Amino acid sequence: MRKRTLARECALKILYRIEISKESVESSLKDFWSKSGDAINKDTHDFAETLVKGAWENIQAIDEVILKHTDNWSISRMAVIDRNVMRMSVYEMLYREDIPPNVSINEAIELAKKYGDVDSGKFVNGILDKIKKTECKK
């Protein structure tokens, strides 16, 4: 698995943990990394932390962007996996100039398919594609 793909997978697990456990970002990060041992290299670790902290620090703005591009949905109605996959992807698309939006979307779709339900990939793709078309300058 590529480093950034693995980092996104780790970041999704951490974001999920933060939301479900209501623990702090720092506590969740520390606990996650302590259990992963030496299996994660520094680049993967650092990118995952950047995604977690970036998505969580900008969660209100990111959620507003997501909601702007959904019909009859609230963030709380979305599956925890789906909303956190989208939060991470929207963070990449709007706050990281070094990552092409198509890469963010493709990685998000794969995560949604792997960890979400049967329709998660389609759901995530539809919303992120709308966001890319209207919000991205790249």
In this predicted structure, the answer to whether residue 138 has a pLDDT above a threshold of 60 is no
Average pLDDT, the chain: 93
Report how far residue 2's alpha carbon sits from residue 43's, in angstroms, rounded to the nearest whole number.
11
For residue range 68-87, list pLDDT tens digits in order.
999 888 999 999 999 999 99
pTM: predicted TM-score of the whole model, two decimal places: 0.93
For residues 112 and 123, the answer to whether their CB atoms sit within 8 Å is yes
The domains located in the chain, with CATH, are 3-135 (1.10.940.10)
Report how far residue 104's alpha carbon sits from residue 83's, in angstroms, rounded to the nearest whole number.
14
Report how far residue 62's alpha carbon sits from residue 88's, in angstroms, rounded to the nearest whole number.
9
Residue 73, class by beta-carbon neighbours within 10 Å (0-12 exposed, 13-18 middle, 19+ buried)?
middle
Residue type, 73: W
Report how far residue 92's alpha carbon sits from residue 84's, in angstroms, rounded to the nearest whole number.
12
pLDDT confidence bin for 93, thresholds 50/70/90: very high
Residue-level pLDDT at 53: 97
- 43 Cβ neighbours under 8 A, 6+ residues apart: 3, 7
**Mean pLDDT across 2-17:** 95
